Amino acid sequence: MDFLKINGGHGEGGGQIIRSAIALSCITKKSIHLENIRKNRKISGLRPQHLTAITILQKIANAKVIGAEIGSTELKFIPGNIENLDLEADVGTAGSIPLILQVLIPVVALSHKKLDLKIKGGTDILWSPTIDYTQHVLREAYSRMGIKFSFELSKRGYYPKGGGEINLQIYPSDLKSISFSKRKTNDVKLICSFSKLSNEEIENKIKEIVKKLNAENLIVNVEIKLEEALDSGASMLIYSIDDNSIIGIDALYNKKTCKFDLDIDKFIQSYSIDDNLADMIVVPASLANGKTIFQVKEITKHLETNLFVTSKITGCKYGIGKTSNGFDVIIEGISNPSIK
């Protein structure tokens, strides 16, 4: 059998290569051979959230998988036919649910299938989008690209115990390309959820952040929620949405420094979409009919790596142009006949 070889150590060499490769393998029906998985990480190889995503996709796509073990640095994924399913999954401890959703949603939706999934794990953990980012930022972007999904958050899950739970529904979708341009709105939404922390402490930190945003002529609507979890923790999302742009930043509360690890300047300076969202829309953009266009302040290593890997699997074309404010990114999709 012929395999398309993917070097998992390319570029930033992290989990994004795994997620993009197996998602595109399922959609395009191409068998892949991943090598050097997470080579550039402190702990190399597959982690629990990667294994959970692979296991779920194996069921959905009736795939044959070789090397699906914790710590494995090599994986062969041979996709079959995708089916409608009703599943339950448990990542274990605080493995990231949002990162798993990044894989599942495009695969199921763009294959014109349906998935009902109850999944347990971490909803708000380090090195991962928060569940609120997935709900309010990613869902808005995917919706504009024709991708339909929804979920109910039953319980938050912080590190180390996790225990978070969501009920996810993915619907058959028709993909389309999209263009973003400069943000025009001054309206900003701030959502903060916390568990087993001082309400006064959290509110004071939020007031400091709102003050910084107000100083930039941004009007902030604040929502604070006490949502009990197994562990103490807090999660914050700041986002703005208009017809031209979708920009969000999220962060967890650092209990050592007593601050949210948040780069407010990055949110203020963002142009049409944020850095994380730019990375997340590469896979669907590569398969759409037409050009997806957006502007970012910088080309992150994640984005650069994802563009390279996605173009290698799909054959899509992309271009990056320097502007006075940052970079224009254009992805010309292949209008994959398997997803029509």
Q: Are 279 and 227 in contact (CB under 8 A)?
A: no
Which DSSP helix (H) or strand (E) runs through 6? strand 4-7
Contact 87, 59 (CB under 8 A): yes
Active site residues: 302
Q: Give the list of residues 6+ apart from residue 256 with CB closer than 8 angstroms, or none.
A: none
End-to-end Cα separation, the chain, in angstroms: 26
Distance, in Å, from the CA atom of 193 to the CA atom of 108, rounded to the nearest integer, reads 30
Angle 170-45-50 from CA coordinates, rounded to 5°: 10
Residue 162's DSSP bridge partners are: 158
Of 68, 130, 134, 118, nearest to 94 by C-alpha is: 130
**Other C-beta atoms within 10 Å of 205: how many?**
18
